[in-house]
Structure 1
Amino acid sequence: MQLLDPSNRADPYPVYERIRESGPLLLPEAHLAVFSRFRDCDDVLRHPDSASDGTKSTMVQRRMAEGEVVRPLGTPGFLFLDPPDHTRLRRLVSKAFVPKVVKALEPDITAMVDDMLDRVADAGRLDVISDLAYPLPVAVICRLLGVPLEDEPKFSRASAVLAQALDPFITVTGEMPDNVDERLQAGDWLRGYLRELIDLRRSAPRDDLISGLIAAEEAGDQLTEDEIVATCNLLLIAGHETTVNLIANAMLAMLRQPGQWTALANDPSRVAAVVEETMRHDPPVQLAMRIAGEDLTIGSTRLAKGDTMMMLLAAAHRDPEAFDRPDVFDPDRDGIRHLGFGKGPHFCLGAPLARLEASVALRAVTARFPGATIGGEPVYKPNLTLRGMESLPVTL
């Protein structure tokens, strides 16, 4: 399937267009339906019988019946759970991401961004990823969780390998990816690292999320150590990989239309529209998966309980039935909407934080370097689901 071909990462949108024009793609032997139109994807995300627990899928149930261990790393993050466990875990974590708490981070985020831009100003060039888009979200999520920033080099590789595990390779091909052992090793290492950190926070609590989750567990809130580890693991990966892509994709879109870069430099109030249009035009999360918890119908497609539903969100965001001039990056379009943060009970917990980090970074870099231009072609990682760049050189 062309979706999985890494050579399409730089511009997957022609492939998405061909899939979308053909309507829902049905693969009965894999019990899989691929949706790429906005209305269908929106319906799946909102449907009360859409499940997030992958073990409810017919194909996974078959693998389990054959004796396969489908969760070799143990308890998954709450993103991959359904109520009541999802509700309980999300409620405990959500306190760290309410708007008031996130807003209080703005002065620190602003200072971090200013410091990063100071470091590249004299050089006259910037790599968007390594100099800004990556270190900022990593520093913020480490601070929130209570992960020492000096340990970042240790977990950055593990995080990158585990992000690839979100790609639907097994779902589409029915086969294991080549680097499955590497992913297991990375997952074991990261969970072991988090267990050691939890032990440290038990003996010396701090004002951070790990300490808060331990306190909830010890207060009898039914939070096990495995759940704490899984939650921190999820937030550490999801909490920075996606925001890196958001910041970088927005900068690339504006640099490719220099008028947009200049417009934001001259009017910082445009930044919210720039962020939302980036979420639509080139979303950090390109696809999402759900399982039919019961027999259900999406549009004209009937699905049996246990069928897997893949939503190509990036394709849906360029659906001409939903958007005028869908391929054009236009922060001035009326009523920008997208599915990039999800819908319903799984709406992205970190959306306020991602929006804040991106807004601060984009306002600052355009104001500081209003004449910036692209210094070379972007290089993309092989990831499909969390599609993003490895590097993007910019001349300041």
Structure 2
Amino acid sequence: MPTPADPGFFARLLDPAQRHDPYPLYAAMRAHGPTRLGETPVVVLSSYRDCATVLRHRASSVERHHASIPLGPTPVHDLAGEHADAVSGTASMLFRDPPDHTRLRRLVAKAFTPAVVRTLEPRIIEIADAALDRAAERGRLDVVADLAYPLPITVICELLGVPLDDELRLREWSMLLSRSLDPISTTVTAGRPDPAQLVDASNELHDYFEQLIRRRSRSGEDLMSALIAAEDSGDALTRDELISTCVLLLIAGHETTVNLIANTILALLRHRHYLAILGVAAPFATAVIEESLRYDPPVQLVPRIAREPIELPGIELAAGDLAIMLIAAANHDPAVFPDPTRFDPARADRHLAFGLGQHFCLGALLARLETSVAITRFARRVRNPRLVVDPPVYRDHITLRGPAAIPVTFTEIA
């Protein structure tokens, strides 16, 4: 195996064949320390201390133009035309620094408050129970296809006011565009999406939301209407910002939660005593979810660009350097989490799964609520569930890690 300092080592991390268990590679990288890939401006960080430092650092940027190398899998601006910022996502708060990020997040937060999220719980329970009812009628259950996927996609579609009849198209676009978050290695081609497909999906999703927004009223009760009406001191979302925000909420509102639900239920099926406890003690879900976020996070890595030099122990990020932070490796750092490969819901919550600082996940509360409902209903209703295969087959995604399917046997869905 190449050494961690060799770019070939990082290529192994990017290889979808490693998805079933990337943690030994993460451990080797973390033991080596912060690593610059050859002579490139790319630095890989894997310790909790280094990742937390960069996530919070004032010189840490998400705006791609600060990077000294081209970023992004496709030349979207050359192909997407008039609405390139919306199509590429650069009009989204995900790729904006303050003050733009602060402004956008404040406007979106007005329509995405904790109070709104809490009112969704009865409906989320209905959706989860309906999903399990359908599985009971069929007599078979795939945790991903039958529960982890339909629950969050239904919730975010209803929240945005998107017709559920369009779910299949939205799923195809979302699955493609989520792959644009993956780093690219010239030595890893398996599962890589066609750049032209990404551009087509971006354009089609942009056009879809533009048409919805044209028909939407400011006085509607859904989140899209609230975003249209959202203002702060006379400021409002531009059309491209509104479209990019809807795209972000659609993709981030379910892609990561699918993996969180699936990863958590997989951990419970491998640690059945915790599944038994959850079946009779619903409040235990909070501890289980936080440990799952640490133990097997749905987002494995996040990038940041150094606007200015950033000093870290053992390495300096120069202005323009790209830092790839292995969040999943940091969450297994033994300096912070003793015996990190053990699934232990009794741990204190210090994970980095939702990030830190100004880009802390806006949808964290909703993701936790959806996962809590999914795992408690599963634990209470599915009797004697057993994995059909272990490990399951994983999706090709690198940044977002989760099983493609988790078929289980059971004696009854009560």
2:167 corresponds to:
152
The 5-angstrom pairing of residues 61-210 of structure 1 reads 69=77, 72=80, 73-75=84-86, 76=90, 77-169=92-184, 179-202=194-217, 205-210=219-224
The 5-angstrom pairing of residues 1-396 of structure 1 reads 1-27=11-37, 29-60=39-70, 69=77, 72=80, 73-75=84-86, 76=90, 77-169=92-184, 179-202=194-217, 205-216=219-230, 220-333=234-347, 335-377=348-390, 378-396=392-410
| Number of positions where the alignment pairs a residue of Structure 1 with one of Structure 2 | 388
Kept in 2, the 8 Å contact 1:198–1:210? The answer is yes
Aligned-partner residue type, residue 364 of structure 1 = R
Deviations 1:67-116 (A, max 9, x none): 99489542422111101111111111112332211111111111111111
- How far does residue 205 in structure 1 lie from its aligned partner after superposition? 5.0
Task: Classify 1:217/1:332 alpha carbon distance in 2 versus 1 (closer, same or farther; 3 Å).
Answer: closer
Moved more, 309-318 or 164-173: 164-173
Moved more, 118-127 or 222-231: 118-127
Deviations 1:345-377 (A, max 9, x none): 100000000000000111111011242111224
Give the distance between the partners of 2:66 and 2:219, measured in 1 at CA.
37
Give the distance between the partners of 2:99 and 2:222, measured in 1 at CA.
25
Give the distance between the partners of 2:228 and 2:132, measured in 1 at CA.
37
Gaps of 5+ in 2: 1-10
Give the distance between the partners of 1:104 and 1:129, measured in 2 at CA.
25
Give the distance between the partners of 2:39 and 2:78, measured in 1 at CA.
20
RMSD: 2.3
Deviations 1:309-341 (A, max 9, x none): 1100001111111111100111123x1320000
Kept in 2, the 8 Å contact 1:375–1:393? The answer is yes
Task: Classify 1:332/1:217 alpha carbon distance in 2 versus 1 (closer, same or farther; 3 Å).
Answer: closer
- How far does residue 29 in structure 1 lie from its aligned partner after superposition? 3.2
Kept in 1, the 8 Å contact 2:143–2:407? The answer is yes
Other structure's SS at 2:235 match: coil
- How far does residue 171 in structure 1 lie from its aligned partner after superposition? 10
Gaps of 5+ in 1: none
- How far does residue 299 in structure 1 lie from its aligned partner after superposition? 2.6
- How far does residue 270 in structure 1 lie from its aligned partner after superposition? 0.7
Give the distance between the partners of 1:93 and 1:101, measured in 2 at CA.
13
Task: Classify 1:216/1:192 alpha carbon distance in 2 versus 1 (closer, same or farther; 3 Å).
Answer: same
Give the distance between the partners of 2:289 and 2:315, measured in 1 at CA.
33
Kept in 1, the 8 Å contact 2:160–2:222? The answer is yes
Kept in 1, the 8 Å contact 2:107–2:237? The answer is no
Task: Classify 1:181/1:271 alpha carbon distance in 2 versus 1 (closer, same or farther; 3 Å).
Answer: same
TM-score (ref. length: structure 1): 0.93
Other structure's SS at 2:338 match: coil
Other structure's SS at 1:302 match: strand
Give the distance between the partners of 1:290 and 1:313, measured in 2 at CA.
12
Aligned-partner residue type, residue 153 of structure 1 = L
TM-score (ref. length: structure 2): 0.89
Aligned-partner residue type, residue 42 of structure 1 = A
Kept in 2, the 8 Å contact 1:162–1:187? The answer is yes
- How far does residue 121 in structure 1 lie from its aligned partner after superposition? 2.1
Give the distance between the partners of 1:366 and 1:167, measured in 2 at CA.
33
